[in-house]
């Protein structure tokens, strides 16, 4: 991957994607990168559209919005349908197979993982799916040093949930490393 990375985290309100992008941005700063983080969400408190962008670069970032995503995370079907046409063929695309289904064209590098269902079944808390997604995303892209990322997660996690959120992040790495996802096809089963 090049110096400039543009990451889009997309899904529905209530999935914790804004917090995930803030954690990612803070970790990138601690990893000596220049960072810009932006966010937008629908007027609904939960369930509406949610999108957050993070730009990482070793050079100065002159425009704050993601224009050419190098990494796309889709946590629901609506965001997948909306943002997939906006990425190039070299973009790493991670989807949550709990909510996104289908067969993906060979022109895209789609990797499907049971993110939310793994958070619920393995850790007992669906609410940490956002940190699990960050683990998958960082394992796939190598954007930020893993230990620096874990420290950032602990700092930003709601009081008393730092270790659980770190476990979710580590589970994301495990899902990626075990190949629990499927590329360009039907998603895999939740790991035991």
Show the domains of the chain with their CATH numbers.
Answer: 5-183 (3.40.920.10)
pLDDT at 14: 87
Phi and psi (nearest 5°) for 106?
A: -65, -20
Q: How far apart are CA 80 and CA 64, in angstroms?
A: 22
Helix (H) or strand (E) holding 168: helix 162-177
pTM of the model: 0.89
65, 30 contact by CB (below 8 A): no
| Sheet containing 182-183: order of strands | 34-41, 49-57, 5-12, 71-74, 92-96, 109-113, 182-183
CA-wise closest residue to 7 among 138, 123, 109, 115: 138
Beta strands in 13-171 (DSSP E): 34-41, 49-57, 71-74, 92-96, 109-113
Give the residue carrying structure tokens 């932006």: 38
Note down pLDDT in tens along the chain; length 192 residues: 458 999 999 999 889 999 999 999 999 999 999 999 999 876 555 666 789 999 999 899 989 899 999 999 999 999 999 999 889 989 999 999 999 987 777 788 899 999 999 999 999 999 999 999 999 999 999 999 999 999 999 999 989 999 999 999 999 999 999 885 555 443 333 333
Q: How far apart are CA 131 and CA 32, in angstroms?
A: 21
CA-wise closest residue to 8 among 61, 64, 69: 69
Q: How far apart are CA 105 and CA 91, in angstroms?
A: 13
pLDDT at 104: 73
Q: How far apart are CA 95 and CA 158, in angstroms?
A: 25
């Amino acid at each position: 991957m090049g110096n400039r990375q543009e990451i889009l985290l997309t899904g529905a309100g209530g999935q914790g994607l804004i917090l995930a992008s803030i954690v990612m941005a803070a970790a990138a700063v601690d990893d000596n990168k220049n960072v810009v983080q932006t966010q937008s969400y629908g007027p609904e408190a939960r369930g509406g559209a949610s999108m957050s962008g993070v730009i990482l670069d070793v050079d100065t970032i002159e425009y704050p919005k993601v224009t050419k995503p190098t990494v796309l995370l889709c946590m629901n079907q609506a965001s997948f349908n909306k943002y997939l046409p906006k990425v190039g063929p070299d973009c790493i695309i991670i989807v949550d197979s709990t909510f996104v289904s289908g067969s993906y064209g060979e022109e895209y590098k789609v990797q499907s993982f049971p993110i939310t269902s793994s958070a619920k079944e393995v850790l007992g808390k669906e609410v940490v799916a956002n940190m699990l997604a960050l683990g998958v995303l960082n394992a796939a892209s190598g954007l930020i040093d893993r230990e620096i990322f874990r420290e950032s997660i602990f700092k930003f996690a709601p009081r008393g949930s730092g270790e659980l959120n770190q476990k979710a992040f580590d589970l994301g790495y495990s899902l990626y490393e075990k190949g629990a996802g499927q590329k360009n096809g039907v998603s895999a089963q939740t790991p035991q």
